Copies of this chain bind each other. A is one copy, B any other.
Amino acid sequence: MPRGECQGQGWWHGRFRGCGYRLTIGREAILDVLSKAPGHLSAEDIYIKIHPGHPNVGLTTVYRTLDVLSSLGMVSKLDFGDGRARYELAEGPKGAHHHHHLVCTDCNKVIDYTDFIDEEVELLRETEKGLGKKYNFKITNHVIQFYGLCDKCIHKK
């Protein structure tokens, strides 16, 4: 099967092999960290977490693997605007852990929230419906992030 045309369902081993990729030690370690560590990890975060147990996995491999995982739709690459990308396991909009982000532009604190208010749910539903129809898109996912000042940072200065 040619690369890049594998967007189907499945999990780790099968998902990799079926797409022509090999599930190597390093890649497995990276997936392991992503699945266990909470929150949003940078490439370097992952590298540092892996290093004690796998000192021969380089930062380059972390970047490359995250790229592959991202293209397979297994991880989401997030951008909180602080100049370094964060990664988290993707579970899709209907997955149990789907959440949106609230990011403080001052201290970079990130809040994951899952308890969407009615307006937000309706906003998503209506927008997806309208956009899908207008642009002939089959919408499968979304990223929603609000930026602003957190509790503490509002009262600074």
Contacts and interface: CB of A to CB of B under 8 A. Distances in A.
Interface string A24-44: 000000000000000000000
A54 to B, nearest CB: 28
A40 B122 CA distance: 29
Contacts of A147: 139-143
Contacts of A57: none
Interface residues of A, number: 48
Given A122-B123, A126-B120, A135-B111, A146 B142 contact: yes
B138 A117 contact: no
B102 A137 contact: yes
Interface of A: 4-5, 7, 73, 77, 79, 81, 85, 102, 104-106, 111, 113, 115-117, 119-120, 122-124, 126-128, 130-132, 134-151, 154, 157
